[in-house]
Amino acid sequence: MVDNKIDFDDFSDQYMDLMNEQHAKYGDIEYYSEHKAKMTAKVFNTQIKNILEFGCGIGRNLPYLKKQFKDANIFASDISSDSLAIAKQNNPEVMIVEDDLLNAYNGRFDLIFIAGVYHHIPIHLRSTVTKKIYDLLSKNGKLICFEHNPYNPLTRHMVNTCVFDADAVLLTKNELKNIFKTEGFTILKDGYTLFIPPKIKQFNKIEDWLEWLPLGGQYYITAEKLSE
């Protein structure tokens, strides 16, 4: 277990600057958020009504989710209050929910979007957090989860040199799938993604052909809550 747990309140104001600095040679970091939102809309029906981004940080993904799911009610939560304040300021149309108030929304969400969260969750709490996510979903609700791929050497380098990843413990796609299965989810689909950096995004059409290859910068898992 990692002892140097990161407090994202310490980085909320400089998060974008740090991200831009680290990714400068690869292109505009907004590409990553846009790509994930488009993938989510491709996998799931855009008629979904209630979506939660669990662990939204400062809200980088929210405008792109709103663009892809125009008729949906978008909610967002995070354990960092300072990050949530920035997310709310930049996304006034999104319903911001403090993490400790989420249980009031149990059974509410048709889709939960999670990106780059699990590697920050202490190993001994991952099952507890997954159970919380399960409870938040409506009957037959879905989730999509993006995580860093530990098999990608560039991803490992980026994590090892990122100041707010000091507490990161990467997990493989199969490890995360097993956590979801244990907490009652049915796995729908999974694969690897983000093979193409933003600077050459015009070639990202090949992503669909490479999902089987465990060298993408990240992977994704989609799952469904079992009927109760």
Please give the residue that has the higher pLDDT: either 2 or 21.
Answer: 21
1 falls within a domain? no
82 falls within a domain? yes
Please give the residue that has the higher pLDDT: either 17 or 117.
Answer: 117
131 falls within a domain? yes
| Distance (Å, whole) CA 162 – CA 159 | 5
Please give the residue that has the higher pLDDT: either 23 or 137.
Answer: 137
55 falls within a domain? yes
User: Where do runs of H (alpha helix) occur along the chain?
Assistant: 15-23, 30-43, 62-68, 81-90, 126-136, 153-160, 173-182
| Distance (Å, whole) CA 185 – CA 131 | 10
176 falls within a domain? yes
Number of structural domains the chain divides into: 1
What is the domain-level CATH number for residue 89?
3.40.50.150
Bridge partners of 218? Answer: 148, 193
Q: What mean pLDDT do residues 39-45 have?
A: 92
What's the chain's average pLDDT? 88
The answer to whether residue 131 scores a pLDDT higher than 90 is: yes
The answer to whether residue 136 scores a pLDDT higher than 90 is: yes
- For 148-199, the DSSP string reads E-TT-HHHHHHHHT-GGGTT-----HHHHHHHHHHTTEEEEEEEEE--S-GG
Six-digit token string for 48: 């979904």
Position 201 scores a pLDDT of 83
Percentage helix, strand, coil, to 5, in the chain?
45, 20, 30
Position 202 scores a pLDDT of 86
pLDDT band at 13 (very low <50, low <70, confident <90, very high): low
Q: Give the structural domain span for 79.
A: 8-225
Percent of the chain with pLDDT over 90: 71
157 falls within a domain? yes
Residue of 131, 159, 146, 140 whose CA lies nearest to 65: 146
Condensed to tens digits (0 to 9), the pLDDT of residues 157-190 reads 888 877 767 788 999 999 999 999 999 999 999 9
3 falls within a domain? no
Q: Do residues 51 and 73 make contact, with C-beta atoms less than 8 angstroms apart?
A: yes
Q: What mean pLDDT do residues 205-214 have?
A: 92
Q: Do residues 9 and 80 make contact, with C-beta atoms less than 8 angstroms apart?
A: yes
69 falls within a domain? yes
The answer to whether residue 146 scores a pLDDT higher than 60 is: yes
